[in-house]
Structure 1
Amino acid sequence: MPQSAKTEPAATAGGRRAAAQRHRVRQDLAAAAMRLFSSQGYEATTVDEIAAAAGVARRTFFRHFRSKEEAIFPDHDDTLVRVQAVLDSADPREHPLDTVCRGITEVLRMYAYVPEISVERYRLIREVPTLREREIASVSRYERLFTRYLLGHFDEDAHRDGDDDPLLAEVAASAVVAAHNHVLRRWLRAGGKGDVEAQLDHAFDVIKATFGTGIGSGRIPSKAASESGSASASRQGEVVVAVARTDASPAQILRSIEEALRRA
């Protein structure tokens, strides 16, 4: 067996161990920061105290975080990578809004993974303006990512008069993030109790009903989409026939009928 074949699994395993160790240290630092912020206040807590409470040196803290406020959000960078992976691996037949909704669900799961920490973090963020600003900056990265994605996935045949592609993409992306934030805050105010993913799914239904017709599966050419069963209509005598995809929402079907009537 070639030497490279023997060493590759060991190198891969070593990389996984290093990543796991890095994750543990980040989590330990974040937990220590949370405890100290809660017990003695954010302003009174120093980086040296956080590092000491986590059992690491000051320089180790700065290998993982640039500042003490960043330590309270240890998972956003990794979650952004997971969200990007959801977008990159999406089935070309999936509605792009469905893809974006699956992406933001990864963010929700980050908060829901350890509810008690997320609830305490929410309390601190409400009290400390610096932390609120940090969270807003973190959330804006997801919104920019979703806007770029939706800009590339418009179905021209599904647009209504007056639609503006960049505006629609940005507003839809903002709506997805706003829905996530609304559901998340409500769940956190309730102490992290209840099925938060089910609540988010309900919010997604509202968004898809509102924006679903203007944004289509842009990776599939319009002609192919039409042949595969996207919304269309024809008039036969006094009868107007409207055809919609089987996965269309009631609001999308209704709009297809309205458009068919206007064209008739």
Structure 2
Amino acid sequence: MTAKERLVEAAFSLFAERGYDQTTVDDITERAGVGRTTFFRTFRAKEDVIFPDHEVLLQAIEARLGGATEQTALLAVTEGARLVLRHYLAEGERARTRYRLTRSVPALRDREIAGVQQYQRLFRGFLHDWMGGGEDTALRAELMAGAVVTAHNHVLRRWLSGRADDPLREFDAAMAETVGLFTAAGEDEASIVVFRTKKDLNALLPELNRVLGRNP
């Protein structure tokens, strides 16, 4: 077991025994059998021990998004979000302990929100580029990135609170619904008008455009 793994294991054990606020860095290093210097070479502060390595996860998502084509962009976003979910599932009880801590310690909750925003910014930037990168697509990309993160978090919270027996299946269903909201909204619609008249077509076109809501 590495020094980092010992520190994380010691920290989670102490948080469970004494509570987060009652546990000091010295307590953690003593339990882990390492010095303070080792701790601060590994983590910037006590709260850093709580959270997964977001930088590693962000790099994994960026790599997946970077391999996407125009046709597979939405699949890449789905799989990128799934990488995060799989990480939490692999943590098992440690993820549930973190969930309980972030719900009871405001500073940890704020840190968790900041981490979620990193994922959302990454998805937003990718989706914005995929949609063309113009001012007219900025809001749509923002909304879709927010929906993807919300769907992921909804399933994750259900699993963390013991209400999801098959979180990956629920995730696939949630993402299909989320992506469907945006792909359905983006489909072009056509209006077909059938009529019989003896009037000149050129004379009728301005009125038809008005009825269809088009500019003359």
Match of 2:171 among 168, 183, 200: 200
The CA distance in 2 between the partners of 1:123 and 1:150, in whole Å, is 33
Match of 1:72 among 37, 50, 65: 50
CA offsets 1:96-125 (integer angstroms, 9 cap, x no match): 222211111111011000211111111111
CA offsets 1:130-164 (integer angstroms, 9 cap, x no match): 111111111110000000000011179xxxxxx94
Residue 5 (structure 2) aligns with: 27
Amino acid at match of 2:59: V
Match of 1:91 among 69, 73, 98: 69
Amino acid at match of 1:81: Q
Residue 37 (structure 2) aligns with: 59
Give the aligned CA root-mean-square deviation in angstroms: 2.6
- 2:106 maps to 1:135: no
Match of 1:212 among 183, 189, 198: 183
Residue 101 (structure 1) aligns with: 78
- Assess, with a 3 A threshold, how the Cα gap between structure 1 residues 45 and 128 changes in structure 2: closer, same or farther: same
How far 1:45 sits from its partner (Å)? 0.7
CA offsets 1:60-86 (integer angstroms, 9 cap, x no match): 111121111111013222111111111
The CA distance in 2 between the partners of 1:115 and 1:74, in whole Å, is 12
Amino acid at match of 1:176: V
Match of 1:167 among 136, 139, 143: 139
- Assess, with a 3 A threshold, how the Cα gap between structure 1 residues 93 and 111 changes in structure 2: closer, same or farther: same
The CA distance in 1 between the partners of 2:32 and 2:155, in whole Å, is 32
> What TM-score does the superposition give when structure 1 sets the normalisation length?
0.67
Q: Quote the sequence identity (%).
A: 43
Which protein has the larger Cα radius of gyration, Structure 1 or Structure 2?
A: 2
Residue 131 (structure 2) aligns with: 154
Q: Does the CA contact (< 8 Å) of 1:125 and 1:131 recur in 2?
A: yes
How far 1:194 sits from its partner (Å)? 1.7
The CA distance in 2 between the partners of 1:150 and 1:33, in whole Å, is 38
Q: Does the CA contact (< 8 Å) of 2:155 and 2:167 recur in 1?
A: yes
How far 1:30 sits from its partner (Å)? 1.8
The CA distance in 2 between the partners of 1:235 and 1:137, in whole Å, is 49
Q: Which has the higher contact order (CA 8 A, sep 6+)?
A: 1
Structure 1 segments of 4 or more deviating over 2 A? Answer: 24-28, 230-238
Q: Does the CA contact (< 8 Å) of 2:11 and 2:49 recur in 1?
A: yes
Aligned length: 196
Secondary structure of 1:100's match?
helix
Residue 26 (structure 2) aligns with: 48
Unaligned runs of at least 5 residues, structure 1: 1-20, 157-162, 216-229, 239-261
The CA distance in 1 between the partners of 2:136 and 2:181, in whole Å, is 15
Unaligned runs of at least 5 residues, structure 2: 196-211
Q: Does the CA contact (< 8 Å) of 1:33 and 1:50 recur in 2?
A: yes
Q: Does the CA contact (< 8 Å) of 2:70 and 2:130 recur in 1?
A: no
Amino acid at match of 1:56: V
- 2:162 maps to 1:185: no
- 2:116 maps to 1:145: no
